Amino acid sequence: MRRTVFSVLVLACLWGCSPDPALVPGTWKAAAFFEDHKRVKTPLDSVALVLSPEGGYSFSSIGYYRESGPYRLSGTYLHLTDTTDNPHREHTVKILHVSSDTLKLLMRSGEKRQVLFLAKEK
């Protein structure tokens, strides 16, 4: 009996842990940025990620940094291929949480763990 309940819970988690692909597209604005579990105080007003339902993205960051190209979802991972650079570069980030108004992404910069919180624009 315990084995059956455990198996059902594991399968439910695996099935339920993947983000709903319908919630991912939209215009997302950065709300907070953490590095190694500490909030980084930096201006985030220009940081945005736009994910189209057709599979294209554009990203703008602090200063004049911009990139764009196609994206794809694979389980809890978001793969972004920057086609503005030659050769094209793929960035992979983990979706920690997505809802109708919040997107939380896990990134790595060397050994540093970075988490970006984004809010969906209405």
Q: Measure Cα distances from 13 to 7, 71, 77, 100 in Å.
A: 10, 25, 16, 20
Provide the pLDDT confidence category of residue 12 given band limits of 50, 70 and 90: very low
Provide the pLDDT confidence category of residue 10 given band limits of 50, 70 and 90: very low
* pLDDT score recorded for residue 11: 40
Whether 114 contacts 39, CB under 8 Å: no
Residue 17, amino acid: C
Strands (E), 26-76: 26-35, 38-39, 48-51, 56-60, 66-74
CATH of 20-120, one of 3.40.50.720, 2.40.128.280, 1.10.3720.10, 2.40.37.10: 2.40.128.280
- Report the percentage of the chain scoring pLDDT > 90: 79
Provide the pLDDT confidence category of residue 18 given band limits of 50, 70 and 90: confident
Predicted structure pTM score = 0.83
Q: What is the pLDDT of residues 78-114, one digit of tens each?
A: 999 999 989 999 999 999 999 999 999 999 989 999 9
